[in-house]
Amino acid sequence: MSAIPHVGEQVVLRRPVIEREAVKSYPRARAVRRRSKAITWLDVARFGMWVSIATLVLNLVAGFVGQLLIEETRRSAIRAEGRASRAELETTELRQALDELQSSERIERWASLNGMQSSYLVSNEEPQTH
């Protein structure tokens, strides 16, 4: 048996057509083309001048602020040296007062004022002096 093609009704598959609402279309906005201004040497010179002025002003302000900070540091160092010298002087005075309080004559005087006698006076010995 030979295969013979069947020539009968042809079946055409179609998709269902969905009708859509009409979409309103608006005219598109056109870009307005402006002519660009050409950069001239005068524009470059002005820009350079403003940059130079800004740099100069910032440099002067920074220098002034730096000088103020240095001067404040110097004054602070002078105050610190003054405090250190006063502390040294007070320390020396306190050491002298402490040495005076620890001296044997001062201790003897305090003991006699409080009704005490030193042990070497009781035993009739001579006090040792250095």
User: What DSSP assignment string belongs to 17-56?
Assistant: PPP-PPPP--PPPPPPPPPPPPP-HHHHHHHHHHHHHHHH
Q: Rounded to two decimals, what is the model's pTM?
A: 0.45
Domain residue ranges of the chain, discontinuous segments joined by +: 42-113
Task: List Cβ neighbours of 128 (8 Å cut-off, separation of 6 or more).
Answer: 120
Sorting pLDDT into bands at 50, 70 and 90, what band is 8? low
pLDDT per residue as tens digits for the range 45-86:
999 999 999 999 999 999 999 999 999 999 999 999 999 999
pLDDT of residue 55: 97
Could you report the per-residue pLDDT of 101-124, keeping only the tens digit for each?
A: 888 888 888 888 888 876 666 565
Q: State residue 26's pLDDT score.
A: 74
